[in-house]
Structure 1
Amino acid sequence: MSEKNGTARQTQDRRSAPARSTEDKTQPPPRAEPPVSGTPWGRYAVGVFFSVIWSSAFIAGKVVVMEMGPFATLFYRFTLTVLVLLLFCGKKLLGPEGRQAMLPGMLLGLLNNVVYLGLSFSALRYLSASWVVIVVSCAPFMTMALAALRGQESFDKRKLLGLTVAFAGVVVMVGITGLHEGAGLGLGMAIAATLAFSVGAVLFRGKYDALSLLSLNFWMTLCGMLCFAPAAFMTTTNPLHITWPALAALLWLVVVSLAGMALWLLLIRTQGPSMAASYNMLNPLSGLALSALLLGTAIGVQDVMGAAAIVAGLYVALRPGQTPKTT
């Protein structure tokens, strides 16, 4: 009888041990920095590639917007992207993987594709492009503050210093022109757009890490398509009535929606929200390089100085540092 009791207790102990181990795994220890994966140069390469893809949308978007308007452009961009994503996702959207990503994807689509893009495009009606770029470049600061409030990241002085230097480089590159009458509304739109972008980055970090990026991108894009549909139907312009350069630019915007958004979600997942948002400060530099390459735009001394400050600041902010001890 005692041997049976002993065997039963050992069996019970063995059964209970995995349960305790699983419970420990579901409660990750507090961390001061978000986990990152890959070599430092590999992570930087992903961020730079994201910036180049994302910046190219401004060049292509300008060509299409001149013929179709901002909201019609966004509608057809998202509609074509939805069709492509349907080919990739297929029946997965009807399965558990697709259903789990639906509500988070619609929420992120509302923040990133509708509020961020809609307000930033609208802000251009009241502000110069330089002011919109400067306000949007504040995204890393907003994201860092929100992530710190949610306990996702620590408030790192080294990171703050690096982002401040990079932000100064953005200001040097794009310059600041005088604000005209009615610019207050444009500034409010640009700030609200940047805040929505930062909120989306912080919400995705951790909470939606297990979701499929393709399914998530599909629901995000579908949300943008549905929200911009009324504005598109109010105009008589459609992709069949635009010039070939504008049509080519529209198709490239679909590539940006596919590759750019996938890289953006990947950066948040692997490097944390504030570090992912930091790569947006490379956008003026990437946009200038693309403009010089594709449009023959001249590069001046001011551009070189600003670019140097951006690269130096981001290196300080993004390089791995010692993780502070936690209690």
Structure 2
Amino acid sequence: MPRVRITAPPTTPPAVSRLRFALVGTLFSLVWSSAFIAGKVGMAASGPLTLLSLRFLLAGLLVWPIARLRAGTSGGVQGAGAPGRPERAPKAQQLRDALVALLAGLLNNAVYLGLAFVGMRTVPAGLTTIVVSTSPLMTSALAALALRERLGWRAAAGLAAGFAGVVWIMRARALSGSADLHGVALILLGTVALSVSTLLYRKIAGRLDPWRIALIQLPASGLVLLPLAWWREGLVVLPSAAFFGSLLYLAVVVSIGTTLMLLWLVRHGGASRASSFHLLNPLFGTLLAVLLLGEHVPASDLLGALPIMAGLGLVLRPRRT
């Protein structure tokens, strides 16, 4: 009797339209940028590390029942047989993926956000989002070297235009003396960690369930930051409605929402295209800083946003086949 070979389901994610990809990426950038505004509000009642530690612990607590429910119905991994989803991975592969997810989460949450929030004590929230928008350039360069992702001339030109806009804004800020160089350096160092984290997401985005990734990353990040917050800040919190509103928004909308959206973007578009949406951060960050915090935005920031927007369009434009 002839043997029947059962082929594994495809691991390539289903194609999505450019419009849908752009809408999800724009929403991701908007929510991501709003984190710095909410962080400024929360840090009026606590230290940055204390706020982040409580944020990640609360987010992990909220994710836990959802992740456990999904693990109970799918065996903890994306089930085989569904279109565009991988087959069940071996135990060793699951362990490696979990470790990669943990490392990516610590770089993204503990290192990047820890440095960014500490630096933001002396740097305006709008300028913080501008510094973070250099992440696509770092991510694309690292992706071309480490993951061999092809970078066409349009994408390269778009990233160069976006970076030029950021340099223009930073130069004007430096000349006006409105930027604390030590704080900016901390944020920039954190942005490097963000770029490395985005590349690590590329390795696991198609294999692990997003909720399981969030369950691995969020509590671990909170636990890592907790002793640092106690040592540096004494875990002091001045309770207020603004603080708890900020904490809840950061935990639910930002931590959980952006994690799921980033994984979706990386899976369907690659690390470089997903990271390119950080080029929108200056636009959303400065707009939210003006509307919600009353920060003054120089005209140079608005001029610098123009090549950033043009650069994003070039990065997202598909290559000709």
Query: After superposition, what is the alpha-carbon deviation per residue over 1:112-165, rounded to whole angstroms, capped at 9, x for unaligned?
Result: 111111222334467676775454322112211221123441132211111111
> Aligned letter for 2:209?
S
Give the equivalent residue in structure 1 for 2:76. 97
Gaps of 5+ in 2: 78-90
Distance (whole Å) between structure 1 residues aligned to residue 110 and residue 262 of structure 2? 16
Change (3 A) 1:290 1:212: same
Q: What is the alpha-carbon root mean square deviation over aligned residues? A: 3.3
CA-CA distance at 1:293 after TM superposition: 3.8
Computing the radius of gyration over CA atoms, which structure comes out larger, 1 or 2? 1
Q: Of 25, 37, 57, which aligns to 1:79?
A: 57
Give the equivalent residue in structure 1 for 2:271. 273
CA-CA distance at 1:109 after TM superposition: 1.5
Say whether 1:221 aligns with 2:199: no
| Contact 1:63/1:246, CA 8 A, preserved across alignment | yes
Change (3 A) 1:305 1:159: same
Give the equivalent residue in structure 2 for 1:4. none
Q: Of 52, 61, 66, which aligns to 1:88?
A: 66
Which sits farther off after the overlay, 222-231 or 93-102? Answer: 93-102
TM-score (norm. length: structure 2) = 0.80
Give the equivalent residue in structure 2 for 1:138. 134
> Aligned letter for 1:176?
R
Say whether 1:44 aligns with 2:26: no
Give the equivalent residue in structure 1 for 2:44. 66
| Contact 1:64/1:250, CA 8 A, preserved across alignment | yes
> Aligned letter for 1:161?
A
Query: How many pairs are equivalent?
Result: 298
Distance (whole Å) between structure 1 residues aligned to residue 185 and residue 304 of structure 2? 26
CA-CA distance at 1:221 after TM superposition: 0.5
Say whether 1:117 aligns with 2:96: no
| Contact 1:50/1:263, CA 8 A, preserved across alignment | yes
Change (3 A) 1:278 1:130: same
> Aligned letter for 2:306?
A
Query: After superposition, what is the alpha-carbon deviation per residue over 1:218-259, rounded to whole angstroms, capped at 9, x for unaligned?
Result: 111011111011133342523xx4221122111111121111
Say whether 1:196 aligns with 2:193: yes
Change (3 A) 1:110 1:165: same
Change (3 A) 1:173 1:48: farther
Query: After superposition, what is the alpha-carbon deviation per residue over 1:148-202, rounded to whole angstroms, capped at 9, x for unaligned?
Result: 123441132211111111222234456431589x94x656644432222111111
> Aligned letter for 1:209?
G
| Contact 2:41/2:242, CA 8 A, preserved across alignment | yes
Change (3 A) 1:302 1:208: closer
> Aligned letter for 2:194?
F
Distance (whole Å) between structure 2 residues aligned to residue 163 and residue 186 of structure 1? 24
Query: After superposition, what is the alpha-carbon deviation per residue over 1:66-120, rounded to whole angstroms, capped at 9, x for unaligned?
Result: 2201100001111111111013223555885279464233211111111111222
Say whether 1:149 aligns with 2:145: yes
| Contact 1:36/1:272, CA 8 A, preserved across alignment | no
Give the equivalent residue in structure 1 for 2:81. none
Distance (whole Å) between structure 2 residues aligned to residue 172 and residue 229 of structure 1? 37
Give the equivalent residue in structure 1 for 2:236. 237
| Contact 2:129/2:285, CA 8 A, preserved across alignment | no
Distance (whole Å) between structure 2 residues aligned to residue 289 and residue 135 of structure 1? 15
> Aligned letter for 1:84?
L
| Contact 1:104/1:216, CA 8 A, preserved across alignment | no
CA-CA distance at 1:301 after TM superposition: 4.3
Distance (whole Å) between structure 1 residues aligned to residue 261 and residue 39 of structure 2? 19
Percentage of matched positions with identical amino acids: 35
- Per the alignment, in what secondary structure is the counterpart of residue 63 of structure 1? helix
